[in-house]
Amino acid sequence: MRETKTRVAFVEMPIREHTFSPANLEEKLAQIEALIAPLRRVIVAYSGGVDSSLVLAVAHRVLGDGALGVIADSPSVPRSELREALEVAASIGARVRVIPTNELDDPNYAANPVNRCYFCKSHLHHALWDIARTEGYRAILDGTNADDVGDFRPGQEAARERGVVSPLREAGITKAEVRALARMLGLPNWDKPAAACLSSRVPYGTPVTRDVLKRIERAEEGLRNLGFRQVRVRHHGPVARIEVPTEDLERLLHLRDEVIRGVKAAGYTYVTLDLQGFRSGSSNEVLAQKEKQNIAR
């Protein structure tokens, strides 16, 4: 086992109204390292998000070439996200591998039920364990953190069923602490906005197809080219419902003509703006409404 740990200059840093002391960060990092080190050879389910990037970075520090990041490539992953993920891994110095996944060929996934993510993660973890068994890896790690517990995340059920290890969650690392640790370790994506696969833009019950995902990707890419860093284009047939943070609403309206032109060029007939602004998991709001209606009955 090759030791790649290096000393880091610990500094006080505010992360979204949180301040973490050097001692606190050092302790948190040590906890993650202590969970990963005994595993010796691991595969990290890597997406390029800050959570899985932190896990990959720590696994590489502790295990060196005993850590392998594996990126799932499918139509639900934007090309820009894949490129950025590879760039981040290169900055870490970790080994990565891109594998194709074919969840869209699974009718359970393509039908887009409320537990769609369960089928996606099941396909991914099956592929990862195939690699692990063939090449002698002892564990699969993911980037689930302590704040993810309690959310509606069917993918976590699939991970539990397949024995995936979540070192950030086991160490009690919150999202704010993830960003602080990622910044401390010099990860270029430490402040990267939360991301989700393109299928999450499609309302439950509406089939997920390659054409729909391509339309969403093109529309969001056009908006990012206009300078919107955090954006969702929610797919409603011919209607695109745009979500940006509330502080960006005025700027989007100022760029109204460019926005309309770009989103229509992606294949949408109508372009709408969600006045509530961006909120992660807004597709789940309909589930909460149905639950309230059932309770009222």
Is 7 inside any structural domain? no
176 shares a domain with 101: yes
R_g over Cα of the chain: 20
pLDDT digits (tens, 9 = 90+) for 179-206: 999 999 999 999 998 889 999 999 999 9
Same domain for 175 and 208, yes or no, is: no
pLDDT at position 7: 36
Contact 178, 51 (CB under 8 A): yes
Q: Is residue 213 part of a domain?
A: yes
Structural domain contains residue 1? no
Is the domain of 45 the same as that of 146?
yes
Question: Given 184, 207, 225, which residue is the final one in a domain?
Answer: 184
In this structure, which amino acid lies at residue 283? Answer: S
Question: Does residue 208 share a domain with residue 117?
Answer: no
Query: For residue 10, what pLDDT is reported?
Result: 33
177 and 127 in one domain? yes
Query: In total, how many domains does the chain have?
Result: 2
Q: Are 68 and 43 in contact (CB under 8 A)?
A: yes
Positions in the chain short of pLDDT 70: 1-18, 150-152, 281-297
pLDDT of amino acid 23: 84
Residues 272 and 128 in one domain: no
CATH (domain of 97): 3.40.50.620
Task: Examine residue 297 and state whether it is found in any structural domain, yes or no.
Answer: no
Does one domain contain both 154 and 210? no
Instruction: Please tell me the predicted confidence (pLDDT) of residue 12.
Output: 38
Quick one: 202 and 180 in the same domain?
no
**In this structure, are 173 and 247 located in the same domain?**
no
In a domain, residue 192? The reply is no
pLDDT for the residue numbered 195:
87
Kindly report the CATH number assigned to the domain that includes residue 208. 3.30.70
pLDDT score for 2: 37
Q: Does residue 296 lie in a domain region?
A: no
In a domain, 55, yes or no: yes
pLDDT of residue 101: 93
Query: What's the confidence (pLDDT) of residue 292?
Result: 46
Across the strands, what pairs with 100? 73
Q: Which structural domain range is residue 248 located in? A: 198-286
State which of 184, 208, 223 marks the end of a domain: 184
Q: Where does a domain end: 161, 184, 207?
A: 184
What DSSP assignment string belongs to 86-149? HHHHHHHT-EEEEEE--GGGSHHHHT--TTHHHHHHHHHHHHHHHHHHHHT--EEE----GGGT
Number of Cα atoms under 13 Å in the Cβ half of residue 115: 8
CA nearest 141: which of 233, 56, 19, 241? Answer: 56
Q: Are residues 21 and 163 in the same domain?
A: yes
Task: With respect to residue 8, please indicate whether it lies within any of the assigned structural domains.
Answer: no
The per-residue pLDDT for 212 is 98
Q: What are phi and psi of 206, to 5 degrees?
A: -90, 125
Query: What is the pTM (predicted TM-score) of this model?
Result: 0.86
Q: What is the pLDDT of residue 289?
A: 52
- Whether residues 157 and 25 fall in one domain: yes
**Based on the domain organization, do 62 and 99 belong to the same domain?**
yes
pLDDT at 8: 37
